[in-house]
Amino acid sequence: MKVIHIIPSLVSGGAETMLYKLLKNKSTTNYEVEIVTLTSGDYYTDKIKEMNIPIHELNLKANNPLKSIVKLIKILKTADIIQSWMYYSDFLSFFIGKLILRKKVIWGVRRSYLNKELMKSTTFYIAKLNSYLSKFVDKVVSCSIVGKDNHVEFGYSAKNMVVIANGFDINELDESDFIRLEMNLTANTNILLNVARWELLKDHKTLLKAVNILKIQGIKFNLVLVGKNIDKHNVELNEEIRLNNVEDCVTLLGERKDIPYLMKAADFYISSSISEGFPNVIGEAMASSLYCIATDAGDTKYILGETGSVVESGNPEMLANGIIQATRLEHIEKQRLVSLALSRVKTEFSIGKIVSEYEKLYRNLMR
């Protein structure tokens, strides 16, 4: 059996990370894998090539579209199953994989909400077109329960929708005191970590308003922000930091490759998103034994269960209160909760369990 994945790129986003984990942990003898990207090389390209998995880069923006389509048809002819990730790839996998080649096709959707105001117009209309086509593909995999429900409401085929959550590796790392030294922090300073690229849906503005409240109340903390465009060159972000008078207690690290170590060095993980599907970073924080305070976006509440604090999105006062309550937890109670979080990830969201669910789906389609 050969499974060919189509994905827009191999940047370090949620879908790309899940695909990488799926490839890294797949059964080595059960099926072959190839990758098609709509762009050219990126974050996970070399990592996947190291696994001896072929990657075909269409680079649609630079190449002749017709030649790229012909190339894609030749590649997909050899597939038994075509698995696509996100709306543009889903449309291509239907058009070529199902309509032309009559292959088994699995779509992948990652969003929790389909809001025209919060999406690029082209993405919104492709998603709408896909909703009418979804009844003709074999399965549509949503990474979240909220995402499944909202895609069905949007018009996607309920019969074809299934939920397979994201999976996580358990990080067995030493405590990372060197991270504190790097940021010149003392042991009695609470490190609040947030890992998210700069975009509206991650709602850094609410987060900065919340930590302004912490500062006013005399809480000792340093908010460490990590992600694409989270650096001194981001004029809008730095202006928000200045307006909230938190320049002395916010650290901007930009993109980093040592997220597990940052999580081990932190005291609390903070998520301020207003929209998510299945937020990988919450599971990664739990797998790192990190207590989470998060806004109620996507499947966050489901992932955390009773192990962390979930507050209303877009409400800086409630987010600040959640953080303050967390800092006041007795050490033994905090340790109990992070232990429960780690156990929950191992039981419900281990990467082995999630890979098994995908491979079962493949086997069922080929019967």
Query: What is residue 180's predicted lDDT score, i.e. its pLDDT?
Result: 55
Domain range for 185 is: 177-348
357 and 343 in a common domain: no
Query: What is residue 64's predicted lDDT score, i.e. its pLDDT?
Result: 85
- Residue percentage of the chain with pLDDT more than 90: 75
88 and 72 in a common domain: yes
Task: Evaluate whether residue 222 is within a structural domain.
Answer: yes
Summarised one tens digit per residue, pLDDT across range 297-311 is: 989 999 999 999 999
Lowest mean pLDDT among 24-33, 81-90, 357-366: 24-33
CA dist., res. 326 & res. 210, Å (int): 14
For residue 256 the two structure tokens come to 């980093």
206 and 121 in a common domain: no
For residue 35 the two structure tokens come to 């990758």
Summarised one tens digit per residue, pLDDT across range 342-355 is: 999 999 999 999 99
Question: Could you tell me whether strands 190-195 and 221-226 are parallel, antiparallel, or unpaired per DSSP bridges?
Answer: parallel
Question: Across the chain, where does the E strand assignment appear?
Answer: 2-7, 32-37, 55-57, 81-84, 104-109, 139-142, 161-163, 190-195, 221-226, 250-254, 268-271, 291-295, 309-311
Summarised one tens digit per residue, pLDDT across range 146-205 is: 999 999 999 999 999 999 999 987 765 555 554 555 565 656 688 999 999 999 989 999
212 and 107 in a common domain: no
132 and 52 in a common domain: yes
Task: Evaluate whether residue 172 is within a structural domain.
Answer: no
pTM of the complete model: 0.84
231 and 96 in a common domain: no
**Mean pLDDT, range 60-65, rounded to an integer:** 81
**Mean pLDDT, range 55-79, rounded to an integer:** 90
Query: What is residue 340's predicted lDDT score, i.e. its pLDDT?
Result: 96
Quote the number of domains for the chain.
2
Query: What is residue 261's predicted lDDT score, i.e. its pLDDT?
Result: 83
Task: Tell me the residue type at 61.
Answer: K
Q: How many CA atoms lie within 13 A of 121 on its CB side?
A: 0
Which pLDDT band holds residue 41 (cuts at 50, 70, 90)?
A: confident
285 and 204 in a common domain: yes
**What CATH number is attached to the domain comprising 107?**
3.40.50.2000
Nearest Cα neighbor of 280 from 14, 9, 10, 12 is 14
136 and 193 in a common domain: no
**Mean pLDDT, range 297-326, rounded to an integer:** 96
Query: What is residue 21's predicted lDDT score, i.e. its pLDDT?
Result: 92
* pLDDT over 90 at 260, yes or no: no
CA dist., res. 294 & res. 315, Å (int): 11
**Integer Rg of the chain from CA:** 21
